[in-house]
Structure formats: C-alpha cells, structure tokens
Amino acid sequence: MSVPLDGRRIVVSAGPTYEDIDPVRFVGNRSSGKMGFAVAAAAARRGAEVVLVAGPVALATPAGARRVDVRSAAQMREAVFAALPADAYIGAAAVADYTPRHPSPDKVKKTGETLVLELVRTPDILAELGVHALRPRRLVGFAAETGDVARYAQDKLARKRLDMIAANRVGVAGQGFEGDDNALVVYWPGGERALGPAPKTELAERLLDLVFPD
Ligand code: C5P
C-alpha cells in the first residue's frame, strides 16, 4: 500500500545540464532523465503537486506534473529555487560540476593543435538547499559513482546535509544512465536499504515509500 501524497508539494530535478562552450558545443553529463521522470510520475500519481525541473532530455512529461525545462546548471538552480517552498526536493539531475568560464558567442574555430578550456564550478543546488531558509523537510540526493559507492554516498549525505541519498554504481552493464533498469542503495543517517535491480519505475515507487513512510 503506497502512502497518498495529496497536499504535498514535491520538486524533482532530472536529466543532465548542458554548459555551453559556444553556440554548437557543450559540456554535459550522461543522463537520460528516466529516474527523475519516474519519481515525478509516481509522486503525481499519488496525488502530490509535482514540479519537474528537467534538463535537456527527450522524455514525455509525466501526467499531472508541472514541467520546467532548463539547459544549464545556473538555469536549473533558478528554477528549483523558484519552485520553493516544497515538502521534498528529490535531486535526480546529473548537474554539471563545471561550466566554461568564457562561453564564446561565435563558433570556436579549429586552429591550434590543442585547445584549453577553462572551467569554473557550478553552484551546488543540493548543498545550497541544505542550508537554505526554505530547506524542504525531506532533502534527497542521488550519487552516481564508479567505485567506493557507500563511502562517497555517505560523505555526500553528511556534507550536503541531506535526509537521504540514493546511490548507484555506474559503468556496470544493466545499471545507471541510459537503461530502464537500475539498482540503488539508499542511505540515511543511521540506516540503509538496497533497492533492485528493478525497472526505474519500480525503484521510484520504493524510493517514495522510504521518503514518505507515512
Ligand atoms: O557531488 P555529486 O555531484 O556527486 O552529488 C550528486 C547530487 O548532488 C545529485 O543529487 C545532484 O542532483 C546534486 N547536485 C546539485 N548541484 C550540483 C551538483 C550536484 O544539486 N552542482
């Protein structure tokens, strides 16, 4: 039996962000957006008011969710903060950690044998929310790691002041970015639960069960 979420407002971020180098090139992350869209769909089905802040992905908007399309990390930050206050923020987006310092208004021409691109850190949306006056009561992050999953995830849980973090190992066949299935380990202060391998739609339901136990 899943807990109804009528009257709850949930903000979900999903997909990658693209950081423009010039009008035809960008720096981005591999992310299909499927996990975040599945969470948004499941929350809307349970009656929540859902704002889905989506990076550039080719996915249909889940029924009942209000979708805000963004491109860059800076735009995602704006849209997430504009959607507050909320009962929960579920940050499933693969936000770029760095963005070009000087995006070029014109196409960069192929001249030298090497090209140095200077990148600067993007705002960490999740970490900012952790210390914000309007911090959602349930703050959930995702962590995609290629190794040492438990250690990095627990470190992020503490450092970003989260209530929960859903970690997955990437670079393993049948798990992670583009597929329809995944396996997660969800950590919270003092506990953990392994979910899957299962379809992302199923994982979304189980994750919501943990975020909203009653
Ligand atoms: O530190 P790392 O990027 O691995 O943390 C992943 C989590 O932090 C995800 O929930 C992601 O949405 C969030 N994040 C963010 N802003 C960033 C980078 C990551 O909100 N600039």
- CA-nearest residue for atom 4, ligand 1, is 143
Pocket of ligand 1 (CB under 6 A): 13, 73, 91, 93, 95, 97, 122-126, 141-143, 156
> Is 168 one of the annotated active-site residues of the chain?
no
Which atom of ligand 1 is nearest the CA belonging to 145?
4
Which of 29, 75, 175, 201 is the catalytic position?
A: 29
Give pLDDT, residue 173: 62
Q: Which atom of ligand 1 is nearest to the CA of 13?
A: 12
pLDDT tens-digit map of 120-172: 999 999 999 999 999 999 999 999 888 899 999 999 999 999 999 999 888 76
The rounded distance, in Å, linking the Cα atoms of 30 and 188 is 26
Mean pLDDT of the chain: 95
- Looking at residue 85, its pLDDT comes to 98
CA of 36 relative to ligand 1 center, distance in Å: 13
| Residue 61 amino acid letter | T
Q: Looking at residue 199, what is its pLDDT?
A: 95
Give residue 132 CA to ligand 1 midpoint distance, Å. 16
Q: Give the tokens for residue 192.
A: 């953990």
Residue to probe by mutation, ligand 1, list 29, 30, 95, most atoms within 8 Å of CB: 95
Question: Which residues, including other chains, have CB under 8 Å from residue 23's CB and lie 6 or more apart?
Answer: 104, 105, 106, 107
pLDDT at 1: 66
Q: Phi and psi for 39 in degrees, rounded to 5?
A: -65, -45
In the chain, % of residues over pLDDT 70: 96
> How confident is the model at residue 191, as a pLDDT?
95
Going from the Cα of 182 to the center of ligand 1, the distance in angstroms, rounded, reads 18
**Which of 29, 121, 125, 211 has most ligand 1 atoms within 8 Å of CB, for mutation?**
125
- Would you identify the CATH topology of the domain 9-101+117-211? Rossmann fold (3.40.50)
Please give the Cα distance from 95 to 17 (Å, whole number): 5
pLDDT of residue 170: 80
Q: What is the pLDDT along the chain (214 residues), one digit of tens a residue?
A: 688 999 999 999 999 999 999 999 999 998 999 999 999 999 999 999 999 999 999 999 999 999 999 999 999 999 999 999 999 999 999 999 999 999 999 999 999 999 999 999 999 999 999 999 999 999 999 998 888 999 999 999 999 999 999 998 887 665 656 778 889 999 999 999 999 999 999 999 999 999 999 8
Buried/exposed 63-97: b ≥16 CB within 10 Å, e otherwise: eebebbebbbbebbbbbbbebbebbbbbbbbbbbe
